Amino acid sequence: MNTFKPSMITAALISSGIAMSSLPLYAQESPQIEEDEITIPEEDTVERIEVRGFSTSLIQSLNQKRFSDTVSEQISADDLGGLPDVSMADALTRLPGISAVRTGGQAAQINIRGLSGDFVFSTLNGREQVSTSGSRAIEFDQYPSELISEAAVYKSPKASLIEGGIAGTVELRTASPLAMDQQHKFSANMRGMYNDRASEVSDAKEFGHRLSFSYQGKFLEDTLGVSLGYARLFQPSVSTQFIGLAYDGVVDVDGVEGDTDGPSSCPECEYISEGFEMQHKGGEETRDGYVAAIEWAPVDNFTLKADAFISKFDSEAFARGFRVKLGGVNAGITNPVIVNNSVIGGTFSRTDDSFTRVELVNDDNQDFDSVENLGINANWEISPDFAVQVDISRSSAESDFRNGLLWSLVGEDANAVSPVFDENVQISYLLNGLNLPDIAINQSDAFTDLDRVMVSKYGIYPFVNKDELDAYRIDFQYYVDMPIIAGFEFGYRYSDREYNNDRSVFEYGNDSAFSVSQPPLQLTPDMVEQVNWSGDFSYFPSYLSVDLNSALDAWFPEGRPQPLQTWGPGAAGVINGPGTGPSTAWTMQESGDVFETVNSAYLMANINTELGSIPITGNLGVRYVESKQSSTTLNRATALISDPETGAQIELSDPSLGAQNITDEAGLINNFYSPAVVTHQYTDVLPSINLNFKLTDDTQLRVAAAKVMGRAPINRFAANASTTIETVTAFQDRDSGEISLSTPTAKVNGSAQNSPYLEPFYATQYDVSWEYYFSETEGALVIAGFYKDIESFVEDIEIEPYDFAGNGIVVPESVQVPVYLAPEFNGQAAELARDANGDPVFVTVPTENGSYSTAVNNAEGGYIRGLEVAYTQIYSMLPGWLSGLGVSASYSFTESEIQRTLGDNIYAADLPGLSENVATVTVFWEHEGFETRLSGRYRDAFVSQQVAVNEQVTNFDSELVVDYQASYAINDHWSVLFQVNNLTDEPTKSYFSSVEQTGTIQFFGTQYYLGMTYQL
């Protein structure tokens, strides 16, 4: 075994973790200090275990964990490009206590110790990262594993780490060229990929590939280092899925007297679902990653390094199938099947008051994401006892997500001059828990009939997010020769972050009927393809897949209209519009900027002492943080006055409240709002202690305690409170003159789901870790426990009915609704009804208090506690070829008393991201250039979001994902590889309040890789 003896200041930096990223040169040697000048005690000598193959990364990771000064987990690549995983999300899930939420079948955001991605803080080369997620949660699938050389997960914090991770801090590191042993390194990795479910999805691609190239070199007598890397992923995105929609309706279905099991608002009622979807999903994902670094050490005690990481992840996806809308509380319901007060089956029929229908879905989504992380770092070891580092960085992310939909409905006759929507709709179904449901639809034969199906609605809803952060940091280390304290670390950091969200919209047509003013599109054979289901889904009805481009070219021959950020002609306060039409004021109110500045400073003492004969190392420190968060907003600036003739209240712009004329992208001017910036500031003091007791040469005990904080997601600071009034339509019969309303009242609904006044999450946490490192063979056994006392969470609550006026929100008592003449035929232009004087006819419709959604820091937190066990061993004691056998396994148990209620008491959820049991195991064998390993990742049921029509929080069922890999080194340069991901085609399954309320059932397929690697 080889050892190295760094200078005292370098040893302090290594123990603090800084040397891993900013001092690669001195992690090897410190030429300016002779070995006899400073003597390192024998027990502090760092041992490097020399092994080869997959076990190399395991043992390197254990070494880094062993000599870390916090409770942490480590991943180390044998070489740049050596990690086999598709992304760092997959790689991190191999660590104890870490799991992932699969998006599209692959890991994206990670959970640490039962907490979701919003509680996970992440850095790259020691610098805070922003995310394409639109929140603080890092999407780790954006980071190619081929470009990351090391990763660490700090489960216990220390004062020198940037604040923000209640769950933990993930540190990713790219390669430092001056730290490598060789003079030059080059590697190339090429793999072809095949998905075995792609053939089930029309137009889906079956094949993909992964490519990566990297080079590292040292020049000018090892004073100049260069590192370059590129990684490309192209893969098909495939899934076949059933999605249940939320149980958001309550109605007395069974009519049983004395039934009081329902919600407080209607004890005799049962819960009914909004509906369900059946879809084929396909598309392609392309990720291009780039990394570069240049490192210069002109003298022995100074290093200057500049590095860059760029990743662009583009996704184009489609969803084809049908969406069943059961019709709400006014649907006709017969033969209901009720379990636990939920209707999970029956026959739903359309009535005059319900919206029961089946929509044929042709959705096309595009997502263009990019992250850029740039930085420059200078390190100066001023003396053997004193060092300083200065770091300047910029992290930026941009996400351009365009959610496009093209929906069709079944008509009575698509060839008619005025086609009519077929209102004879009956849907019979029976959910089967986590298995596929039984379904029968009376219109199913028409789903493939061009004489019946017509495109009724097109919509596009872009989300454009930009997130930029500039940071400046200076750190000092000072070594002292004291009985207990070995040195001090102190520093200051300033960061300035700006987040921007832009919303826009374009809608045409109607998703519940055929529009008169925006008539449907008749399909032709060249626009469509009949799609049949197969496998487990084969009994679902066939449907028509519509080519989006062909349909839109026919519907909009003069060019497709583009989405706009607009009030909409029907929005309250528009002074130059027609006075009627849709209101899309939410695109203005949900667009805006969030600003966040943070000043932080820390002081930390490094501990090196003895208790009896037991050496003790660690650190004790405190971090002080000043945070300021601001958000742009549009405040309602109106006043209510009474009409002297009618007595009706009228809402008017009030300049005294700051009302201004605000023009949108469509040229509409609204004078109901006042632009403003809302600001909130707070300070925090975060103490921490980490102690490591070296019980024997092979055994150590770690204990740690800290106060930690995590800010709310950056998008939740947006001050975009809004109120909307339900649109009511009125039609007058041309013969009788009778006026009918779509609803008797106009409900007022409000939302303030984001707030710049949201406080951080706070927790006091305690950690203990017992570690035993094997001496006869390579490996370790680690047992760790933790306890987090969390003060509060951001809670989404919904209040219905909400007293808007009583809470100071100006709302009208009634609205004036224009009356239209009932159309004589489909496609007839809308025509206003007029009185004897020729003036438009209006009816007064009273308003009614509806729901109000908001976000608050709740008053209740609770504990999260757990136990982790990790075991790694290479059985080198076995004879002959068996000596290459090894196992790496972990198990974690996590529990919490915290439960969160979502919606109007409809659904009580466990803490998002928490699985009680998480386990991983990898069995591997290496012999004479041949390596093979089988890995499994298991997690218990947990709570997370599924994405359907809207984001819905559900319970995800337990899952076991199995991967396999084999490789053979032909010679010192060439090797071949075979890899299988998701070997058993493990589906994702979820449910709402209980298992009978089916959520998602998704199959993603098994991915096969075959490739080769060249190293020089």
Task: Evaluate if residue 327 carries a pLDDT over 80.
Answer: yes
| pLDDT value for 31 | 37
pLDDT at 476 over 90: yes
pLDDT grade for 370, boundaries at 50, 70 and 90: very high
Average pLDDT, stretch 808-823?
77
What band does 116 get if pLDDT is binned at 50, 70 and 90?
confident
Q: With cut-offs at 50, 70 and 90, classify the pLDDT of residue 975.
A: very high
Of 224 and 86, the structure prediction assigns the larger pLDDT to: 224
Q: What's the pTM value of the predicted model, to 2 decimals? A: 0.85
Half-sphere exposure of 419 (CA within 13 A, CB side): 27
Dihedral in degrees, nearest 10, Cα atoms 127, 128, 130, 131? 90
Distance CA 1003, CA 202 (A): 15
Strands annotated E in 300-385? 302-325, 332-339, 342-349, 357-383
174-188, 354-368, 764-778, 933-947 — which is least confidently predicted? Answer: 933-947
φ, ψ of residue 655 in degrees (nearest 5): -60, -25
Q: Hey, what are 258's tokens?
A: 């004395």
Q: Rounded to an integer, what distance in angstroms lies between the CA atom of residue 805 and that of residue 824?
A: 41
**Angle at 956 (CA atoms; ends 950, 961), nearest 5 degrees:** 120
Chain-centroid distance, C-alpha 53: 34
Q: Which two tokens stand for residue 225?
A: 């280092």
d(CA 239, CA 1004): 4
Amino acid 615: pLDDT: 95
Count the neighbouring beta carbons within 10 Å of the beta carbon of residue 457: 22
Number of H helices, E strands in the chain: 6, 58
**pLDDT score recorded for residue 840:** 84
Q: Which string of b and e fits 168-194 if b means at least 16 CB within 10 Å? A: bbbbbbbbbbbbbeeeebebbbebebb
Among residues 517, 586, 610, 508, the alpha carbon closest in space to that of 825 is found at: 517
Round to whole Å and give the CA distance between 491 and 160.
8
Q: Encode pLDDT of 94-105 as tens digits.
A: 888 888 877 766
The Cα-based distances of 820 to 516, 582, 823, 845 in angstroms read 12, 15, 8, 15
User: pLDDT confidence of 826, banded at 50, 70, 90?
Assistant: low
Amino acid 324: pLDDT: 95
Percent of the chain with pLDDT over 90: 54
The CA distance from 851 to 847, in Å, is 13
User: Over the stretch 885-926, which tens digit does the pLDDT of each residue have?
Assistant: 999 999 999 998 876 654 443 344 567 788 899 999 999 999
User: Looking at the predicted structure, is the pLDDT value of residue 989 above 50?
Assistant: yes
Mean pLDDT, residues 508-532 taken together: 91
Residue-level pLDDT at 246: 84
Dihedral sign of CA atoms 709, 713, 719, 722 in order: negative
Which one has a higher pLDDT value, 247 or 103?
A: 247
892-906 core/surface letters (b: 16 or more CB in 10 A; e: else): bbbbbebebebbbeb
CA-wise closest residue to 580 among 256, 370, 831: 831
pLDDT, tens digit, for every residue of 270-318? 899 999 999 999 899 999 999 999 999 999 999 999 999 999 999 999 9
pLDDT surpasses 50 at 3: no
C-alpha span between 1 and 848 (Å, rounded): 78
Residue 204 has pLDDT above 80, yes or no: yes
β partners of residue 432: 435
Tens of pLDDT, residue by residue over 754-763, are: 778 888 889 9
The pLDDT assigned to 942 comes to 86
SS3 298: strand
Query: How far is Cα 989 from Cα 913, in angstroms, rounded to an integer?
Result: 15
Could you tell me what percentage of the chain is helix, strand and coil, using 3-state DSSP and rounding each to the nearest 5? 10, 55, 35
What residues pair up with 491 in beta bridges, in sequence order? 475, 602
State the pLDDT at residue 220. 94
User: pLDDT-based confidence at 265, cuts 50/70/90?
Assistant: confident
With beta carbons less than 8 A apart as the criterion, state whether 898 and 919 touch.
no
Q: What is the pLDDT of residue 6?
A: 42
User: Residue 48: what pLDDT?
Assistant: 36
DSSP category for residue 840: B
The rounded distance, in Å, linking the Cα atoms of 1002 and 81 is 31
Report the relative pairing of strands 699-710 and 761-773 from DSSP bridges: antiparallel
Place of tokens 């069709």: 408
Q: Residue 568 — very low, low, confident or very high, per pLDDT cuts 50/70/90?
A: very high
pLDDT on residue 520: 94
Tell me the pairing of strands 730-732 and 814-821: parallel
**Which residues are within 8 A (CB) of 745 and not within 5 positions of it... i.e. 6 or more apart?**
845, 846, 847, 848
Q: What is the DSSP letter of 352?
A: T
Which amino acid is present at 544? L
Tokens (6 digits) for 1009: 């890789």
Give residue 35's pLDDT band: very low, low, confident or very high (50, 70, 90). Answer: very low
680: left (phi over 0), alpha (psi -120 to 50) or beta: beta
**Would you place residue 32 in the very low, low, confident or very high pLDDT band (cuts 50, 70, 90)?**
very low
| pLDDT at res. 14 | 45
Average pLDDT, the chain: 86
CA 887-892-897 angle, to 5 degrees, is 175
Mean pLDDT of 112-125: 88
**Once rounded to an integer, what is the mean pLDDT over residues 785-800?**
82
* pLDDT band at 472; cut points 50, 70, 90: very high
Instruction: Please state, in angstroms and as integers, the Cα–Cα distance from residue 567 to each residue in 62, 500, 591, following that order.
Output: 58, 19, 12
Q: Say what the pLDDT of residue 84 is.
A: 64
User: Residue 93, Cα to own-chain centre: how many angstroms?
Assistant: 16
Please give the Cα distance from 939 to 890 (Å, whole number). 12
Distance CA 175, CA 173 (A): 7
pLDDT band at 145 (very low <50, low <70, confident <90, very high): confident
Asked whether the CA dihedral 124, 130, 136, 141 is positive or negative, the reply is negative
pLDDT band at 773 (very low <50, low <70, confident <90, very high): very high
Q: What is the mean pLDDT of residues 608-635?
A: 94
- Give yes or no for a contact between 570 and 581, defined as CB atoms under 8 angstroms apart: yes
Helices (H), 659-736: none
| In the predicted structure, residue 199 carries a pLDDT above the cut 70 | yes
**How far is residue 872's CA from residue 707's CA, in Å, rounded to a whole number?**
31
DSSP secondary structure of 252-264: --S--TT---S-T
Looking at residues 720-740, what average pLDDT do you find?
80
Q: What does the chain come to in residues? A: 1016
Check: CB of residue 776 under 8 Å from CB of residue 877: yes
For 142, residues 6+ apart whose C-beta sits below 8 A from its C-beta are: 87, 132, 287, 311, 313, 369, 371
